[in-house]
A and B are shown apart, each in its own frame.
Chain A
């Protein structure tokens, strides 16, 4: 029989526990937010130092009992009692903690995703030295008051589409490092990962016309009105003079003519492999947006646009990401 390594035993045991005792491991069940940590799902084990401390206290207790040395015995019981109180405090540190929301700005595959976990306290209590683990990153945070606190975790993205947040470990060794108190959260949350843009992609289709198009458009488009600057508006549209006069950041708003600057057609990209097509379209959409062009995305069975702006870009990237 081949020798079992420790880790393979461990993974087998874990798999068994997960299969047989889902309520204990809480690794599989996906739950809707918000998730409150209650006593049934908080687990405690002594740390290595905790075991050492217990051994020490046990030795001291044996000595004190043997010598019938009452001050020493008091010391022993005090230490044991303090360890127990520390355990309770650590447990209460997790109990009533609530994961409210998980938000993340979509990123392109390959870029790290900033996962913002928003926690608050269902039971009013200060919480310290909390550690949250979402493979492969671990982050510490605290909840000093009742106000919610956010903890940001970077996770790598590999593939486009919905990224399930998956299991999140929450643990604490507060206050003395004697015990590790932990729980697993498995929120039913997925975040969007856009496709990766192609590097060194060919220029936008119809590049030759673009200079003219822009001039055309500037001639053709009438400034319809001015409005306040909104985040995401291209700098190109800033009405600098008016802004300086009024003291508010203003942008020009054009009438929306029905014209299209670029048409990005999935099916037209023949001869390119499927994922490569998606990457190229992604790159083109980004380019079109940065140049302020109106774009239309044609996907199998779906046409988006023509339009411009962050909203449009988002919709298009999302559709691309979700392509089968």
Chain B
């Protein structure tokens, strides 16, 4: 095309000016923030240093030689890969992306580079969303998008350098804000109505590192000497009907069946075995669980889950030991409607093979406990006797602490006979080992206990600090029974009322408590409305219009209509509002005229300013002076064909604005009608 010849190599050739680079650097920093905060600490520090150096070099317009850039890039890439054990996961990708974004600043010297940098930055924001969808990430992302778009607008001025009146940083940001605000309705309509995929086309790549705290499929009591109380939310539960008592709120997570002497694991041997039969004896409880992302497959269900009512597209299933597992790791906030029962008979018949399985402990570990139990067993009348003796022992001679001593090889023996202090894991592990030694089938169940009721949103909040472990034993005829040995030692850990009102609300009171209630309620609303929005919720979206389960064509039609309405409205708004500031002098003059009109002196459309001033002066002689002065000044400033003196102009504007008009003349009565 002809334009080409006029301007060869349009984008590549145009160098970036200093302020353009500064904008790009700011946008890159803003885009790095949400993703950088999720990176491991020292990688984040390296990136910060990199960005600072690159920015300084760019502002001084230093050209970095290509081989040096390549070297640094390789170095950083190798470093990132090393940190992730040379395996490629979602977090590796995010870290690499962040590193490349920082490095790209080193070579951003031209318009074209700047544009790819900024596009890259927008992509990095998206990558951050794959890792975290919390409110902080969202806020940072919004800032990053605004700065990125403002930078795009700034550098696109280089296309026509003389065609743009210069403007300040604030006005640029304001302009971008306006652009975003105008775009929001269309984006919202598209977000709500754009058809979602019912099931993903490909799976979410998993993270290599495990940044998220939470339950694990392993438990080694005695390996951790200090438990950090972590108040991040884990679950939010809403019961459709009466909630169970708080001390009955056991949220079932991974069930640990195998013990190698030190470590409990879920044990792969039970995969594929039929779900244990369950006879529910109480009313089934229906409730909705909103679970924060864990990167794991467990769905926390109230002990004991009966079934799944609805669960988006995570396709959960029950295992033999009644864990609820999703098909894929839960990398996002997920919502599940479940049914549970608190009174039940689980697996009244246990096959001999399973009996053997659930009483197995390694021979050469914990000999003293083994010896103690065989004494008890000999003295006991039945299984319940042994159970009671164990619980009594815990109650009488053990203490609960979050900072126990580390334990050695025979961790159960050391705990039972030496340290005698620990937290739930120690008690659950020791108790289960004792039961197994006594020939009673037993297993450890981990999960969460309790919950804090949020009256504002009528839901229960379970925090990370509620993580718990307990035991299940199997008794002939009664099936599996939950025994919480920790409750025997520290009942306040389980029962409400011991510390503050809710047990795990950290004794918050008064204003602070209602504030935190409100904050969590808002967070939950965000989870429900935005994060939990999926194909199923979308199909129900059109129910106010009489369509209960919208099909894809119906959604498409709604989308087209919505977009059409938005576009029409947008065009109208943009056509109506000229992007031009009114001349301040004209604005001041019109304000003055309005004030005169309020006093009954209305300027006719046909009248010129001077004619009006003369007529008005005749009607209101008390105003004659100011009328003549201001109208002459106005005419002079607005219509004179000479250079306008800026200070005189400002003076006149101030005078016009400051002029007050009395409704009635003070001295003389009004003489004429005021039309």
Contacts and interface: CB of A to CB of B under 8 A. Distances in A.
Residue in B116, B161, B580 whose Cβ sees the most chain A Cβ within 10 Å: B580
A206 interface: no
A19 to B, nearest CB: 17
B570 A88 contact: yes
A21 interface: no
A73 interface: yes
A70 B180 contact: no
5 contacts: A60-B126, A79-B122, A80-B187, A92-B574, A142-B163
Given A60-B123, A67-B332, A82 B155 contact: no
A176 B138 CA distance: 24
A44 to B, nearest CB: 14
Contacts of A137: 6
A137 B5 CA distance: 10
A130 to B, nearest CB: 5
Given A128-B164, A135-B2, A177 B133 contact: no
A56 B152 contact: no
Interface of A: 10, 14, 48-49, 52-53, 56, 60, 63-82, 84-86, 88-89, 92, 123-126, 128-131, 133, 135-142, 144-146, 169, 171-177
A70 B137 CA distance: 13
A3 to B, nearest CB: 21
Interface of B: 1-3, 5-7, 11, 112, 115-116, 119, 122-123, 125-126, 129-130, 133, 137-138, 141, 145, 149, 152-153, 155-157, 159-165, 175, 179-180, 182-184, 186-188, 190-191, 194, 196-197, 200-202, 204, 313, 331-332, 530-531, 533-535, 567, 570-571, 574-575, 578-580, 583
Given A72-B130, A142-B163, A175-B179, A125 B187 contact: no
Nearest to A177: B156
A321 B194 CA distance: 67
Contacts of B313: 68
B162 A141 contact: yes
Residue in A68, A79, A130, A138 whose Cβ sees the most chain B Cβ within 10 Å: A68
Given A67-B130, A68-B313, A56 B183 contact: no
A304 B130 CA distance: 84
Given A69-B133, A82-B183, A125-B580, A75 B126 contact: yes
Given A67-B200, A84-B567, 15 more contacts: A53-B119, A63-B126, A66-B197, A68-B196, A68-B535, A73-B194, A78-B145, A79-B145, A126-B580, A129-B160, A129-B163, A131-B160, A140-B163, A172-B163, A175-B175
Given A125-B578, A133-B3, A70 B187 contact: no
B122 A56 contact: yes
A86 B152 CA distance: 11
B2 A141 contact: no
A128 B163 contact: yes
Contacts of A76: 126
B165 A144 contact: yes
A177 B126 contact: no
A71 B144 CA distance: 14
Contacts of A64: 126, 129
B355 to A, nearest CB: 43
Contacts of A125: 578-580
Contacts of B186: 77, 81, 84-85
A89 B187 contact: no
Given A49-B115, A75-B145, A77-B187, A82 B179 contact: yes
B152 A177 contact: yes
A133 B535 CA distance: 51
B194 A77 contact: yes
A70 B191 CA distance: 8
Contact of A88 (B163, B534, B574): B574
A85 B156 contact: no
A78 B180 contact: yes
B159 A138 contact: no
B160 A130 contact: yes
Nearest to B534: A68
A78 B176 CA distance: 13
Residue in A14, A136, A177 whose Cβ sees the most chain B Cβ within 10 Å: A177
A190 to B, nearest CB: 21
A70 B6 contact: no
A205 B535 CA distance: 95
B201 A66 contact: yes
Residue in B2, B138, B202, B535 whose Cβ sees the most chain A Cβ within 10 Å: B2
